[in-house]
Structure 1
Amino acid sequence: MSEPTTEIVTFYEERYSEAARLDGRPQARLERLRTLELLRELLPAAPARVLDVGGGPGAYARELMADGHQVRLIDLVPAHVAQARAGTPAIDAAVGDARKLPEPDGAWDATLLLGPVYHLQDRADRVRAVREAIRVTRRGGPVAVAAISRFAGPVDFASTGRFDDRMLAESRRLIIDGNNIVGGGFTHAYFHRVPELLAECAEAGLSDVTLHGVEGPAWSAAEAAVHGPAAEVVFGAALQLARLYSSERDLAAASCHLLVTGTAR
């Protein structure tokens, strides 16, 4: 494996637990709820064959299996694959790289690319991953591509009371350069601006594209209010706004995560 790939695997196996992430803080809860809602709107009626690329320990795969879909999970991290296989229900899972999927052309009714793109810092690799997702999806089948907004980190630090001079400097840098600096609490990653994400998906060949802001523009308010008396009221409002403004392109970058949905051609 290359040095970035090795570091990403080490990060998730030794320094970070992905398994509990989506059940924690308000941002993650919004991410989970809205991603599932968007996937359920996007996917064909069950039973459909769904390939979950970068599916981690299987949080979304198990939900989709409960909906009646046949899901196969591919992830770069062996520990994630082991967790997916060991959970209940067990998931058909294998170690693999989004840039070279071990699947035949057009084998799946839908393909989800919910993690790999924001761990690829080279543009050509990101386009290749989306192109691979399209390749393994039947013609006209849906494809979903997730990314992290360029502005998510600074807003997160501000809303949780962690913004300092170092983060101010990082915020200035991120305006120009979307590459994450490894060692600040996260691994190799790339944070997108909306136009470049759409351009990469178009170059890969994704058609009928819709852009969604996953958590909506008020996720940071929910983070700031989490320990106060209005926590659930603010969370409920943030969820309603996330639904209302989901495809408003002018507001998309205010979300932590972006989700592009389209069809394979």
Structure 2
Amino acid sequence: METDVVRHYSYGVETSRLARTPHGGLEFLRTQELLRRVLPPRAKVLDVGGGTGVHAEWLARDGHTVHLIDVVAAHATAAVNLPGVTAVVGDARELPVVDNSMDVVLMLGPLYHLIDAADRAKALAEGVRVLRPGGVLAAAGISRYLSILETGTDGTLDADLTPSIEAVIATGRYDGHVGFVSTHWHTADELRAEVQSCGLDDVEVYGVEGPAWPALDVAGASEFAARADAALRCARLVERDPLLINASAHLLALGMKTTG
């Protein structure tokens, strides 16, 4: 896993990921919105797989203490230069953090890079271990329906792509057909079950971007400012709707640790 991930991210793709496309901009705004609903004031936040600190930066500006861990050394090096952020190299499955020490644990990237369910379970268990009782864990997944919605909207869905798209919908195994490394993509029910199984309570899963994100990409960056408000309203309206939640490109599970 590390070899493929490090190779992919060595080209600097993480720094600009959330600004490169309209749906990336929508993902960023909605992730901020969803996290701000549950973050306590001046929290100790562990950002696991936090990349170059795209989220750590605004969290620190909001007054939180942020410690970032990432498997890619260049990411940690970039993040440690952000005001109010500390960063080290590390693996989500073996966190160099003491028990019961964090108010919030973010796993906004690791789960989809951990293709085997056992590895995802290890990472989630580690997140719970370092979380204090009463703390919140946020875990993101990529929707299994991302590529069918993207390619069906932008006109690139053809007979050659169809088998790969059918496979990722059926199994969650993504083979790289729209330009990403091999990963595991979730359904909302699967993500909820995985997060619940690690011992968290009150687990809820939210659709991040909502169903309007593919249209934003087709409209283009020049239309983002005019269309973003409607897309955000759309996402909020159906963020927990079981019939539409998987139409988001990303899913976010939130759960609480209620015991020591």
- Asked if Structure 1 and Structure 2 have the same fold, meaning a TM-score greater than 0.5 normalized by the shorter chain, the answer is yes
CA distance in 1, matches of 2:177, 2:84: 34
| Count of residue pairs brought into register by the alignment | 258
Q: Indicate if the aligned counterparts of 2:49 and 2:110 stay in contact, CA closer than 8 A.
A: yes
1:166 match: 160
Q: How big is the shift at 1:227?
A: 6.5
Q: Taking structure 1 as reference, are residues 39 and 143 closer, same or farther at Cα in structure 2, changes over 3 Å only?
A: same
1:145 aligns with 2:139: yes
Q: Indicate if the aligned counterparts of 2:210 and 2:248 stay in contact, CA closer than 8 A.
A: yes
1:8 aligns with 2:5: yes
Q: Taking structure 1 as reference, are residues 84 and 219 closer, same or farther at Cα in structure 2, changes over 3 Å only?
A: same
Q: Provide Cα deviations, 1:64-87, integer angstroms capped at 9, x if missing partner.
A: 10000000000111111111123x
2:56 match: 61
Q: Indicate if the aligned counterparts of 1:221 and 1:234 stay in contact, CA closer than 8 A.
A: no
After TM superposition, where is structure 1 displaced by more than 4 Å over at least 4 residues in a row?
A: none
1:17 aligns with 2:13: yes
1:82 match: 77
Q: How big is the shift at 1:91?
A: 2.4
1:33 match: 29
- The 3-state SS of whatever aligns with 1:73 is strand
Q: How big is the shift at 1:29?
A: 0.6
Q: Indicate if the aligned counterparts of 1:211 and 1:249 stay in contact, CA closer than 8 A.
A: no
CA distance in 2, matches of 1:220, 1:183: 17
| Residue type of the alignment partner of 2:108 | L
CA distance in 1, matches of 2:50, 2:230: 28
2:256 match: 263
- The 3-state SS of whatever aligns with 1:195 is helix
Q: How big is the shift at 1:25?
A: 1.2
Q: Indicate if the aligned counterparts of 2:66 and 2:84 stay in contact, CA closer than 8 A.
A: no
Q: Indicate if the aligned counterparts of 2:22 and 2:216 stay in contact, CA closer than 8 A.
A: yes
Gaps of at least 5 residues in structure 2 are none
Q: Map residues 177-256 of structure 1 onto 2, 5 A cutoff.
A: 177-182=171-176, 185-226=179-220, 232-256=225-249
Q: Provide Cα deviations, 1:26-80, integer angstroms capped at 9, x if missing partner.
A: 11011000000111111111x1111000100001101010000000000111111
| Residue type of the alignment partner of 2:92 | A
Gaps of at least 5 residues in structure 1 are none
| Residue type of the alignment partner of 1:63 | W
TM-score (norm 2): 0.93
Q: Indicate if the aligned counterparts of 1:212 and 1:249 stay in contact, CA closer than 8 A.
A: no
CA distance in 1, matches of 2:23, 2:197: 30
Q: How big is the shift at 1:158?
A: 2.4
| Residue type of the alignment partner of 1:13 | S
Q: Indicate if the aligned counterparts of 1:159 and 1:223 stay in contact, CA closer than 8 A.
A: no
- RMSD, aligned α-carbons: 1.7
TM-score (norm 1): 0.92
